[in-house]
């Protein structure tokens, strides 16, 4: 996804995304909770959320949203957010849900793509993010935010296809629904992520 914008604004969005990425990587390495780290992460995630959706007092600007979404995708921040969502404090998990949902909704001005442009980019480059969101049901802490994201995203046929046609592969890659020939007549192995929903649906944390 190619974007052009002012250098100063770009640096601001770039710094925010890169610092958040660094904090998430540190969080993964921490054995125990670090109040300072959690506080810094919460602050960064709140700033992202406000940039993407604004506040009752301050409306989000299209230019700022445009830039931040671009940086989130360019720095591959989404996989780290999904992978670490269960480690975050409650409010930070809610902010992360809002961030990912807003990224998935983003459309370029004048776009006529069936799916939102950012979501299509994710499905092309990193479709495993959808499977990881599904696997969020494995943990009580991540079930609700991951379920909230999927509840909105699943309305797009492309997202539903990733889930329905997911199968284990030798290289661990998730199916690329845009370039792969999906054989709908081929029997399912029963080992794809779709079949895990039959286990998760019995858990009290399940949300659709």
In a domain, 6, yes or no: no
In a domain, 174, yes or no: yes
Is residue 189 predicted with pLDDT exceeding 70?
yes
In a domain, 4, yes or no: no
Three-class SS of residue 161?
helix
The CATH number that applies at residue 54 is 1.25.10.10
State the alpha helices, DSSP H only, in the chain: 7-29, 35-53, 62-74, 77-84, 90-105, 117-125, 128-135, 140-153, 157-164, 193-200
Contact at 8 Å (CB) between 44 and 19?
A: yes
How many domains are contained in the chain? Answer: 1
Contact at 8 Å (CB) between 85 and 137?
A: no
In the numeric block, the tokens 């049901």 are attached to 137
Overall average pLDDT of the 73-84 stretch: 97
Overall average pLDDT of the 103-126 stretch: 93
Q: What CA–CA distance (Å, rounded) separates 130 from 146?
A: 10
Look at 51 and 4; give whichever has higher pLDDT. 51
In a domain, 208, yes or no: no
In a domain, 2, yes or no: no
> Could you read off the pLDDT of 145-159 as tens digits, one per residue?
999 999 999 999 999
Tokens encoding 143: 């079930």
In a domain, 5, yes or no: no
> Could you read off the pLDDT of 119-145 as tens digits, one per residue?
999 999 999 999 999 999 999 999 999
Taking residue 121's Cβ as centre, other Cβ atoms within 10 Å add up to: 18
Q: What CA–CA distance (Å, rounded) separates 179 from 127?
A: 12
Overall average pLDDT of the 72-94 stretch: 96
pLDDT band at residue 5 using 50, 70 and 90 as cut-offs: very low
Per the structure, the complete domain to which residue 45 belongs is given by: 13-203
Lowest mean pLDDT among 2-6, 79-83, 117-121, 200-204: 2-6
In the numeric block, the tokens 């360019």 are attached to 74
Overall average pLDDT of the 2-30 stretch: 76
Half-sphere exposure of 149 (CA within 13 A, CB side): 31
Residue 11 has what pLDDT?
53
In a domain, 150, yes or no: yes
Mean pLDDT computed over every residue of the chain: 88
In a domain, 71, yes or no: yes
């Amino acid at each position: 996804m190619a974007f052009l914008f002012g250098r100063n604004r770009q640096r601001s969005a770039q710094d925010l995304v890169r610092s958040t990425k660094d904090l998430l990587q540190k969080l993964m390495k921490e054995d125990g909770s670090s109040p300072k780290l959690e506080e810094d992460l919460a602050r960064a995630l709140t700033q992202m959320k406000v940039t993407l959706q604004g506040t009752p007092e301050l409306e989000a600007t299209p230019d700022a949203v445009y830039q931040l979404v671009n940086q989130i995708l360019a720095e591959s921040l989404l996989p780290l957010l999904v992978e670490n969502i269960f480690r975050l404090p409650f409010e930070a998990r809610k902010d992360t849900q809002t961030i990912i949902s807003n990224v998935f909704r983003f459309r370029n001005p004048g776009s006529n793509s069936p799916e939102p442009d950012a979501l299509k980019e994710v499905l092309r480059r990193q479709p495993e993010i959808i499977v990881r969101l599904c696997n969020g049901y494995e943990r009580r802490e991540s079930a609700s935010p991951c379920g909230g994201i999927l509840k909105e995203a699943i309305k797009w046929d492309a997202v539903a296809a990733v889930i329905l046609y997911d199968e284990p592969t030798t290289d661990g890659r998730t199916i690329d629904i845009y370039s792969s020939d999906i054989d709908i007549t081929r029997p399912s192995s029963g080992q794809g992520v779709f079949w895990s929903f039959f286990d998760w649906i019995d858990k009290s944390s399940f949300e659709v």
